[in-house]
Amino acid sequence: MSAAPLLAARAVVKTFGATQALRGADMSVQPGEILAVMGPSGSGKSTLLHCLAGVLTPDSGEIRYDERRIDLLGERARSELRRRRFGFVFQFGQLVPELPAIENVMLPLLLDRTTRRDAREAATRLFDRLGLDGLQRRRPGELSGGQAQRVAVARALVTRPEVIFADEPTGSLDSLAGEDVMELLVAASREQGATVILVTHDPRVAAYADREIIVRDGRVTAAAAA
């Protein structure tokens, strides 16, 4: 692995009102690594992920991406970073219900001013690769949970991001659909060379990762090989 981490948190503190969600969290992830972030509910693992992704700004500490401090960037610059370098998969997919599946996948490219033709071609390639062929015109409400989450994975991958953030990506699925989604996510990210940061409470999901860290009471308290 490279000596320099791709993404790192150093002494990160984040408070919401009287609740201190992160209390000096430290972690790092290497290029191409799949990292599982585990911990009990309310431990701060999702807050840590959102700070790493530039969605939240820490109260103190540093977030470095490619050796650059992104916690010091303004919202516009962080938004551009999320749009161009990062991909996201959430527990409930968060697809746009009014759009057919193909346009949900195209959306990140269209927001970055890619032509509709090029965006559709990129999305179509992912539909073929992720076993979604024939579902392009279905809206999210017409898809099963597993199908919708595979569409969400396609949307995360379509910009060829350097980092994919997955927050409980199988939490709303049964075990078989969850395994299917994880196998597709891992295989596709390996193929593209993407780093994956995976928040989960499920050891079966964490087993797909190269390494685990454990967040407890707002701190990274343990690490283990997956």
The parts of the chain modelled with pLDDT lower than 50 are: 1-2, 224-226
| The pLDDT value given to residue 226 | 41
User: Long-range CB contacts (< 8 A, 24+ apart) of 65-70?
Assistant: 65/6, 65/7, 65/163, 66/6, 66/7, 67/4
Q: Where are the beta strands (DSSP E) in 30-120?
A: 34-38, 60-65, 68-69, 86-89
| The pLDDT value given to residue 222 | 63
**Rounded to an integer, what distance in angstroms lies between the CA atom of residue 179 and that of residue 158?**
21
7-225: CATH architecture: 3-Layer(aba) Sandwich (3.40)
**Rounded to an integer, what distance in angstroms lies between the CA atom of residue 26 and that of residue 219?**
7
CA-wise closest residue to 6 among 162, 186, 145: 162
pLDDT tens digits, one per residue of 36-61:
999 988 899 999 999 999 999 999 99
| The pLDDT value given to residue 225 | 45
Domain residue extents for the chain: 7-225
